[in-house]
Amino acid sequence: MNMTKALALSIAGLLLSQLHLRAQSPYLYLITFQGVCYQKNSSGNLAPVPLTQQTFLQDVAQAGGVDPKTLVLVYHIQGSGLGDTIDVVNASTGSTLVNLFGLYFGDTLGRTAATNATATVVRRVDYIYTQQNYTYTSWNPDAMGAAFTTKRFQTDAQGNVRTTVDAQMHWIVNPQGNASTKICSGSFTTTKPFTPH
């Protein structure tokens, strides 16, 4: 291999890596969550229970018999064929344990998302689907709530796309066992791309 060919290959490799970076923007993001669920207490009154991302992780960990410290809550762009999801994943392997929420159909089924001209901001109202029975989600084939979702995409000088997603959401949790219906609301923000460690 001569120098000219090697140089050409190196340049091609650099260009390809840049293209790869652009094409392979992260699709898993850690999220922070703040919210509240109202449910009936033993006196029959409606009482609030605060929610954070840790609440979901502890709930899933307890059900699965694993250490909550091994789990993280992530926003998963195109986590399913129907749209984005909020998942509990293994922090070390990145494997998905539970799909807690599906945020679907914000730009279909008679709804249109709003996007700015540069396609760097998208606002939409998604249906919320919950497809697992946990303390704060209950299985239902119908939507259980909605999310007002904003996605922002910024591109740096290297062509890397930084994505942030924030939303306000509210959803129903149907009665399970001795627990009453819960009516939950909260907001989340993505922080940084998730990489298994």
Q: Helix (H, G, I), strand (E, B), or coil: what is residue 82?
A: coil
Task: Return the residue of 13, 50, 175, 196 that touches other proteins, per CB under 8 A.
Answer: 175
Using CB under 8 A as the binding rule, the residues of this chain from 98 to 157 that contact other proteins are 106, 109-118, 121, 123-125, 140-146, 148
51: DSSP letter: E
Does residue 179 touch other proteins according to CB under 8 A?
A: no
Q: Helix (H, G, I), strand (E, B), or coil: what is residue 184?
A: strand
Does residue 34 touch other proteins according to CB under 8 A?
A: no
Using CB under 8 A as the binding rule, the residues of this chain from 39 to 98 that contact other proteins are 39-40, 43-46
Q: Minimum distance from CB of 168 to other proteins (Å)?
A: 7
Does residue 174 touch other proteins according to CB under 8 A?
A: yes
Does residue 178 touch other proteins according to CB under 8 A?
A: no
Q: Which residue's CB is nearer to other proteins, number 72 or number 173? A: 173
User: Which among 109, 106, 186, 183 is positioned nearest to 150, based on CA atoms?
Assistant: 106
Q: Which residue's CB is nearer to other proteins, number 13 or number 50? A: 50
Within 8 A by CB and 6+ apart from 42, the residues are none
For tokens 């984005």, the residue is 84
Task: Return the residue of 70, 168, 176, 189 that touches other proteins, per CB under 8 A.
Answer: 168
168: DSSP letter: E
Can you give the three-state secondary structure of 88-117, one letter per residue? Answer: EEECCCCCEEEEEEEEECCCCCCCCCEECC
Strand partners, 71: 90
Chain contacts with other proteins (rule: CB under 8 A): 38-40, 43-46, 106, 109-118, 121, 123-125, 140-146, 148, 168, 170-172, 174-175, 180-183, 185
